[in-house]
Amino acid sequence: MIEATGDNDPDMKHPRLLLLLALCLLSLGQAAWYHPQLPGLVATHFNLDGQADGWMPRAHLFQSQVVFALGLAVFFAVLAFVGPLLPDSLLQLPHKEYWLDPRQRAETRRQITNMILSSGCGSLAFLLFLRQRIHQANLDGSHHLAPLFGVVLITALVLIAGPLVSPLWRFWKNAPN
């Protein structure tokens, strides 16, 4: 969270930012841990039944995990830093004039930062879990993800979109008419 005494105070004492960093480091550690254990060619794409239908060299899996972990963490961290600096005209909120009134502005900006970082954490947590399942499917030789993979995908949507829905609903519902 960017705790704000003013709109542009970048004091980074935000637990979500620390969680984002921790999830990124955990993903990098996961990639480093499993890389030497995996076979040379690994299943990396799976159909809706959870059966492998796409393969790549182990090194490419490692590289993609590193790039995605770092890329997502940097993307969401930069968005969290830049978000409070954006002019009001670039923000799209229901009842914007109310929420960006000077009495509400700092709290509104804080909530936007929270939404951004929470979605980033959800994205990294999902990728961490997905990569774990992919590593396990390759290590056990089954090349098959859990039969309840659809439930996992729905959970991912909740983790990623959930932090956006609740505050947006609040912005929509709680502004005076």
What does the domain layout of the chain look like in residue ranges?
A: 2-173
Residue 156's pLDDT is what?
72
What is the predicted pLDDT for the residue at 88?
A: 83
Task: Provide the pLDDT for residue 75.
Answer: 96
Q: Give 17-41 pLDDT, tens digit per residue.
A: 999 999 999 999 999 999 999 999 9
CA distance 59 to 165: 37
pLDDT for 122 equals 87
For residue 27, what pLDDT is reported?
A: 97
User: What pLDDT score does 129 carry?
Assistant: 87
pTM over 0.85: no
pLDDT confidence of residue 61: 95
* pLDDT given for residue 60 in this prediction: 97
The pLDDT value given to residue 68? 94
Separation of alpha carbons 133 and 96, rounded Å = 42
pLDDT of residue 42: 96
Long-range Cβ contacts of 47-54 (<8 Å, 24+ apart): 48/149, 48/150, 50/144, 50/145, 50/146, 50/147, 50/149, 51/143, 51/144, 52/137, 52/143, 52/144
pLDDT tens-place values along the chain, 177 residues long? 334 334 444 444 589 999 999 999 999 999 999 999 999 999 999 887 788 999 999 999 999 999 999 999 999 999 998 988 888 888 888 778 888 888 888 888 888 888 889 889 988 998 998 899 899 999 998 888 876 666 777 777 777 777 667 666 666 666 665
